[in-house]
Chain A
Amino acid sequence: MSKEVLIAARDLSVHFPLRGLGFGKRPVVRACEGINIEIEKGSFFGLVGESGSGKTTLGRAMLKAAPISHGEVIFSDDEVTYDLSSLQGPELKDYRKRAQLIFQDPYAALSPRMTVRDIIAEPLEVMGITSNRDETDARVREIAAKCRLNLEHLRRFPHAFSGGQRQRISIARALVSGPKFIVADESVAALDVSIQADVLNLLNSIQQESGITFLFISHDLSVIAHTCDFVAVMYLGQIVEAAPTRKLFSETAHPYTRALLSAIPSLDPDDQHVAQKLEGEIPSPINPPPGCRFNTRCPHAQERCRKEVPEWREVSGGHNVACHFYQELA
């Protein structure tokens, strides 16, 4: 396995200022704070966390679709190297071809007034990738076939399709510009399980065939476990643990990850394990708790957790955790 990194965030923060009251400092939503991740070329990188943890914002920052307040995001493929925090003009346009997004809700993401052919062809025309209609059509057909859409489908409008088919159309649109990097934001959350499996299999086969790097964002750990090579767990704007998938499940180090894992309802009716309860709810990112951000809900929190921000420490090769006491808790 090559250790080439396609895209990396270094000390990345995304802050959204709120409207102030006129005096003093304006309140700021700290959606992401001090994020460090490296996504290897050709990998399926999973990002998991509760709603409000900042996973979508992080995904968007990596596409330069959210403002980067601090730190940098470096994208480098075989041809170019971009620093996203200062990227603009023609280079930003070029980056849009190389990095794409698949949305969560396939019902809202497709224009009801465009045929499927036009939806898939739009990026080609806007980005000027193809020069004439024949070329565009050929490219659309090629991508559509990859996503198991036939010629008949291309003439129809989105309302004629079911959720799974619509998600395949969204995937085709993301693929058509030939990207190197795709952010899939909760792409299967709105689908029924039988169709979810179909879309996951499709994403996996695309990744294997074309070597596209995926950032797969989901709140569902079992889906992440099945598709991703590497998982990062986010809590309140920070990454608390990151590891190769198997290690994360077998050598869980952070108490939050452990709570998430135990909260997944087991398929075995005789499984009597009681979900490890987390008290309360995720705090507000406007005023995050001092020290370790998880200390308000952590069953093992001690004085030190309320004062000191935990360092990002290596547990073993490729497995990192931000917790003062992970060794004692193991």
Chain B
Amino acid sequence: MTNPLISVKDLTLRFKTDEGLVTAVNDVSFDIAPGEVLGLVGESGSGKSVTAKSLMMLNAENSVYEEGSQITLRLDDEEIDVLSLRRPREQMVIRGGAISMIFQEPMASFAPAITIGDQMVEQLLIHSDMTAAQAREVSIEMLTRVGIPEPAQRFGQYAFEFSGGMRQRAMIAMALSTKPRLLIADEPTTALDVTIQAQVIELMKDLVREFHMSILFITHDLGVIAQTADRVAVMYLGNLVETGTVRQVINSPAHPYTRGLLNSLPKLDDLDAPLTPVPGDIPSPLDRPSGCVFHTRCVESDAIAEKCRNEIPLTSIDGANHRVACHLAAQGDQP
């Protein structure tokens, strides 16, 4: 196996707030291999975006990375310890250099008073040795590549002149023009209509093949994950509760939370199947449950409830790369 492109190890991240330290990410570890698409799933408030932002050190000033947290980025000839990059100059390699990010709300991510073209050229001038004319050419070529009609004309327009789907495609063009090794896509299709979403997903799949980059795909839509990701990581209240290949996690989910998410989805091939919600609400991160963080909402843990309340489940290995943090699975429910 080749070395992973990026390794996150024991990442714990807290925010200093008026109410005290809030744990947003707790002891999270995962790898992404070159050319791999990792889907990160979870409800709002589960810490998906915060985890992704730490890869680019984009979290707010009040964030505290706990001692021992480690993020290693492996480029061709060097290893970069991401969390040790303090000055903006050093961070250029992770911000727009080797890593790019596309955001959920494409309208909010473009500057409204600068043309799309100028924004694309600006980052190319910073991250490469291109001249302005070359950068312009590359940008227009990228706009063509993502299927924007009349790219030369669109290049001089502002974000408000683009429709939602086109803005998201321009965002992708911009993120990819620096040829990043890792693309972080934070809910890139959530604000789009299904027909446009299908276009964007298709485009992203093509681009992975063409540029051989890795993607960290954040979404709450398991259908989108099933169609795009190679591996899936499920997050709940800052913890990773299950990771595995997309087939392992979706076809034979090992964690009660993953099962709960799947059971609450309406399924088109079985219209009579009842929708079973995960009971209750996600607890406040200020008041994290003891033991297994999911025990307050778990419907399967009756028999060993005592254990779930008191002991933190260790990640057990079930098969090759299928990992799950649950006492039930550890007890030998699985072969």
Contacts and interface: CB of A to CB of B under 8 A. Distances in A.
Contacts of B227: 265-266, 269, 271
Contacts of B282: 162
B145 interface: no
Interface stretch (B19-27, B70-78, B218-226): B218-226
B226 A265 contact: yes
A198 B277 contact: yes
A223 B199 CA distance: 21
Given A219-B194, A260-B195, A263-B195, A269 B277 contact: no
A269 B223 contact: no
A274 B198 CA distance: 9
A216 to B, nearest CB: 13
Interface stretch (A179-187, A189-197, A305-313): A189-197
B277 A219 contact: no
Interface string B271-293: 10011111001100000000000
B268 interface: yes
B314 to A, nearest CB: 25
B275 A226 contact: yes
- Give the one of A163, A192, A260, A261 with max B CB within 10 A: A192
A315 interface: no
Nearest to A273: B227
Given A165-B281, A225-B268, A267 B222 contact: yes
A57 interface: no
A245 B266 CA distance: 14
Nearest to A226: B266
Given A50-B193, A226-B275, A281-B166, A275 B223 contact: no
Nearest to B227: A265
Interface stretch (B87-95, B101-109, B128-136, B246-254): B246-254
Contacts of A266: 223, 226-227
A74 B266 CA distance: 33
B198 A193 contact: no
Given A162-B281, A264-B268, A281-B163, A192 B193 contact: no
B202 A222 contact: no
B194 A201 contact: no
A182 B262 CA distance: 29
A226 B195 contact: no
A159 interface: no
B201 interface: yes
A278 B199 CA distance: 8
Interface residues of B, number: 43
Contacts of A209: none
B84 interface: no
Interface string A147-175: 00000000000000011110000000000
A246 interface: yes
A17 to B, nearest CB: 22
B271 A226 contact: yes
Contact of B198 (A197, A246, A271, A277): A277
A124 to B, nearest CB: 28
A270 interface: yes
A196 B264 contact: yes
A270 B205 CA distance: 15
A291 B124 CA distance: 45
A226 B195 CA distance: 20
Contacts of B263: 197
A301 interface: no
B260 to A, nearest CB: 6
A291 B91 CA distance: 55
B193 A219 contact: yes
A66 interface: no
Contacts of B226: 265-269, 271
A248 to B, nearest CB: 11
Contacts of A197: 263-266, 275-277
A272 to B, nearest CB: 10
A274 B247 CA distance: 18
B266 A264 contact: no
A110 to B, nearest CB: 17
B164 interface: yes
B268 A249 contact: yes
B277 A245 contact: no
Given A193-B222, A246-B271, 18 more contacts: A51-B164, A192-B44, A193-B265, A195-B43, A195-B277, A195-B281, A198-B264, A222-B266, A226-B275, A263-B197, A266-B223, A266-B226, A267-B223, A267-B265, A269-B251, A271-B226, A275-B198, A278-B199
A-B complex: 7 closest residue pairs judged by Cβ atoms: A275-B198, A265-B223, A197-B264, A194-B278, A198-B277, A197-B275, A226-B266
30 contacts: A50-B193, A50-B195, A51-B193, A192-B44, A193-B222, A193-B264, A194-B43, A194-B261, A194-B264, A194-B277, A195-B43, A197-B264, A197-B275, A200-B275, A221-B268, A225-B268, A249-B268, A260-B194, A262-B198, A266-B223, A266-B227, A267-B223, A267-B267, A268-B250, A269-B226, A271-B226, A274-B202, A277-B199, A278-B199, A281-B166
